[in-house]
Amino acid sequence: MDFSNFIIKAIGLQDVVIEKIEEIVSNLSLKITVRQKKDKCNCHHCGSPLWSIHEWNERTIKGPPFGAFLYVTIILYQLRGRCHICEDQVRSAKVSFVHPDFQNMTFSLCELAGRLMEEMPCDAVARFLKLNPKTMWNLDQVRMKRMMPLMKLPEDIDLSKMSADEVHFRTMPKESSLKRGEVKFITNLVCYKASKVLANASGRDAGALLACLKTLSPTQLLQIKSFAVDMHDPFISVVKKLCPNAEISVDRYHLAEKVNEAFDEVRKIEFKKAQEKNDIFQEGMLSPSRRFVLVEIEKKLSKRDTKMLDRLKELNKNILNGMILVELFHKMLDKTDVTEFRKSLVLWKALVIESNLKPFMRLAKTISKYESYIETYIKSKLTTAVSEGLNNKIKTLRRMGYGYTNEESYKSKILQRCGYLNSRFIKTNGWFWSIPEHLA
């Protein structure tokens, strides 16, 4: 076996011969001196063969790790010779294995670093490979931009269940102390079965979801049978328009959030009353620090908390009614039969009216508005849980990157980390030696 050719191929070099190999085991580094093959040297300007040798120009290029040697330096002797086509001008020979955008790195090192950055922050990859962090960031952007036209959904992907949700991008600096900073969001279109982000767009309005859904073909849009959203009218209107076969389901998490908000409003009102009466017990039980205890499942509470909660129920009728309404609301959402749900909803609304708690009366109107979509949830049990899980992953991604200010970069990174914009779904094996001409 020709080990020289094997080493050349393994490091991603082309059309060179190895002249010298120096190893420094203590530093896990390897220095390989190579020279271009004269008969393989072509003019970098016109591509025609160079017919004479003017000089050998020495270049230092970084290569990928090789076995136990993590840091590989390539000393390249690049031919400079005369070119007939270029009127006998002295031209440098084309070096086919050096990345055109990063002249001190081989294709193989760029692709290896790019694949690592699909799972790790740019700074971490830079530290691992002893490279410049800014260069790694630039490489990641260039690579994602080249991969974007190649991104396709798998042919066997199941699009029957979908969801959409927004994730926080950044809060813009305040223009003045009188104005709040503008909050920017990214809307993500998520395939429920694949747990992947299929597309994203800036904002959280109808235009954002419209842009996401337009990345799907008309045939793919017809495949969508269920679509989970929060109680956001712009999203609902777009889904109705573009997905004619989709039943819209309101997410349970957001419904639970709304009922907890209603109860918290009741708690705040009763807390103020307790302060005015100087009722120390109720003031302590209704304080903001204990608001989660009041809506916690009683089985999970300690004996002490349970006794104190029972005493609070005896003393405060409004809190007791609020807790009953919250419990019945969750039991209502646990129903699996639409008829049973409707009966429970009628009973719940009657109790809301009887309680005369304004926050719950406002909530009852909201529930009536979205009742048909809640019924879809009862039938399908489809939620935005996958979207919320991916949102947590995206938030972790943002923290790992110490925040993002470039919106396009952030959207691409979401697709890379949580979608199909990566080497697991886009074949880039050939990129270790070159970039396809139509993408270069």
| Chain segment 147-176, per-residue pLDDT in tens | 999 999 999 999 999 999 888 888 877 666
With 0-12 / 13-18 / 19 or more C-beta atoms within 10 angstroms meaning exposed / middle / buried, residue 178 is: exposed
Residue 283 in contact with residue 271, Cβ under 8 Å? yes
Answer yes or no: is 145 within a domain.
Answer: no
User: What's the burial of 414, exposed, middle or buried (CB within 10 Å: 0-12/13-18/19+)?
Assistant: buried
Specify the pLDDT at position 244. 93
**What does the pLDDT average to over 57-85?**
92
Q: What is the pLDDT of residue 207?
A: 94
Residue 393 has what pLDDT?
Answer: 87
260 is written with which tokens? 């907890």
193 and 270 co-located in one domain? no
Measured CA to CA, the distance from residue 8 to residue 106 in angstroms comes to: 12
Residue 430 lies in a domain: no
262 and 313 assigned to the same domain: yes
> What number is the average pLDDT over the span 182-189?
90
266 and 368 housed in the same domain: yes
pLDDT of residue 428: 94
Give the pLDDT of residue 175: 64
In degrees rounded to 5, what are phi and psi of residue 33?
-95, 125
Residue range of the domain that includes 395: 161-173+181-251+384-418
- Confirm if 181 and 174 have CB atoms less than 8 A apart: yes
Residue 419 to residues 191, 192, 218, 413: CA-CA distances in angstroms? 10, 12, 21, 9
Phi and psi angles of residue 140, each rounded to the nearest 5 degrees, phi first:
-60, -40
**Of the given ranges (44-58, 123-137, 284-298), which has the lowest mean pLDDT?**
284-298
Q: What mean pLDDT do residues 70-92 have?
A: 89
Q: What is the mean pLDDT of the chain?
A: 90
Instruction: Give yes or no: residues 310 and 400 share one domain.
Output: no
Q: Tens of pLDDT along 402-423?
A: 778 889 999 999 999 999 999 9
87/18 same-domain check: yes
Q: Residue 286 in 3-state DSSP? A: coil
Name the residue among 240, 184, 129 with its Cα closest to residue 405.
Answer: 184
pLDDT at residue 294 in the model: 75
What does residue 83 show for φ and ψ, rounded to 5 degrees? Answer: -120, 125
State how far the Cα of 90 lies from the Cα of 68, in Å rounded to an integer: 40
Pairing of strands 29-36, 196-202: unpaired
The predicted pLDDT at position 179 comes to 64
CATH number reported for the structural domain that contains residue 236 in this entry: 3.30.420.10
**CA gap 254, 369 in Å, rounded:** 15
11-15-18 Cα angle (round to 5): 60
Residue 99: pLDDT band (50, 70, 90) is very high
What token pair was written down for 347? 């009973």
**What pLDDT band is residue 177 in, cutting at 50, 70 and 90?**
low
Q: How confident is the model at residue 105 (pLDDT cuts 50, 70, 90)?
A: very high
Position 343 in a domain: yes
Q: Are residues 226 and 208 in the same domain?
A: yes
Do 403 and 170 meet the contact criterion of CB atoms below 8 Å apart? yes
Q: Using only C-alpha atoms, what is the Rg of the chain?
A: 31
Q: Which two tokens stand for residue 186?
A: 């990214």
Q: Which of 62-71, 141-150, 430-439 is predicted with the least confidence, judged by mean pLDDT?
A: 430-439
- Over residues 280-308, the pLDDT tens digits come to 888 888 888 877 777 766 656 678 778 88
Mean of pLDDT values over 66-94: 90
Distance of CA 346 to the CA centre of its chain: 41
Looking at residues 225-233, what average pLDDT do you find?
Answer: 90
Segment 107-121, tens digit of pLDDT? 999 999 999 999 999
Closest by CA position to 77, among listed 6, 10, 8, 17: 17
CA atoms of 73 and 303, how far apart (whole Å):
67
Counted domains in the chain: 3
Same domain, 342 and 401: no
Amino acid at 406: N
Least confident of 16-25, 72-81, 305-314, 372-381: 305-314
Tokens read off for 108:
């193989």
pLDDT of residue 118: 94
Look-up: residue for tokens 């889904």? 239
Three-state SS annotation for 363-395: HHHHHHHCHHHHHHHHHHCCCCHHHHHHHHHHH
Query: Considering the domain boundaries, does residue 133 fall inside one?
Result: no
**Considering the domain boundaries, does residue 114 fall inside one?**
no
Percent of the chain as helix, strand, coil, to the nearest 5: 50, 20, 30
Q: Is 431 part of a structural domain of the chain?
A: no
% of the chain exceeding 90 in pLDDT: 63
Q: What is the pLDDT of residue 436?
A: 84
Beta bridge partner(s), residue 21 = 32
* pLDDT greater than 60 at residue 178: no
203 shares its domain with 246: yes
Average pLDDT over residues 329-335: 92
| E strand map for 120-231 | 161-171, 183-191, 196-202, 226-229
What the block records as the tokens of 117 is 């950055």
CB 97 within 8 A of CB 108: yes
1 or 137, greater pLDDT: 137
pLDDT given at position 70: 93
- 68 shares a domain with 21: yes
How much is the pLDDT for 299? 59
Residue 202 counted as domain residue: yes
Return the DSSP state at 288.
G
Q: Same domain, yes or no, for 286 and 359?
A: yes
Q: How far is CA 234 from the centre of its chain?
A: 22
Q: Do residues 263 and 360 both lie within one domain?
A: yes
Q: Does any domain span residue 427?
A: no
Instruction: Answer yes or no: do 298 and 320 share one domain.
Output: yes
| DSSP conformation letters of 409-439 | HHHHHHHHHHSS-STTTS--GGGGT---TTT
